[in-house]
Amino acid sequence: MELKQEALAGTLESSDLFIRVSPSEDPLEIAIQSEVIHQFGEQIRATVEEVLAHLGVTRGIIVIQDKGALDCTIRARLQAAVMRAAGETTMDWEALK
């Protein structure tokens, strides 16, 4: 999936996260800020990388500000931001994991 414009998803509320997705010609760049980075940083990054790979995102800038979100929230917010950035208005819901 190609990112065509900047898009946002989420909030800075407790147990949520805020995601900013921007197009770029450079390889994928992922920046994560989290209150629980020392405990769950590797899992957060793995989840983000898995979702991006599943959606076919290979270029762009992903900035995440995490406030203790669960994996399911990370997935949902990231999928929403990527779809918005790609200009997708319909989704094959069965294809999402």
Q: Where are the domains of the chain?
A: 7-88
Contacts of 89 (CB under 8 A, 6+ apart): none
Q: Residue 61: beta bridge partners?
A: 22, 29
**Cβ–Cβ < 8 Å for 45, 53:** no
Task: Tell me what pLDDT residue 75 has.
Answer: 96
Q: Which CATH number fits domain 7-88: 2.60.40.1260, 3.40.1280.10, 3.90.1150.10, 3.30.230.10?
A: 3.30.230.10
What digits encode the pLDDT tens for the residues 9-65? 999 999 999 999 999 999 999 999 999 999 999 999 999 999 999 999 999 999 999
Task: Tell me what pLDDT residue 91 has.
Answer: 66
How many other β-carbons are positioned within 10 Å of the β-carbon of residue 64?
A: 23
Higher pLDDT, 79 or 92: 79
How many other β-carbons are positioned within 10 Å of the β-carbon of residue 56?
A: 10
Amino acid at 87: G
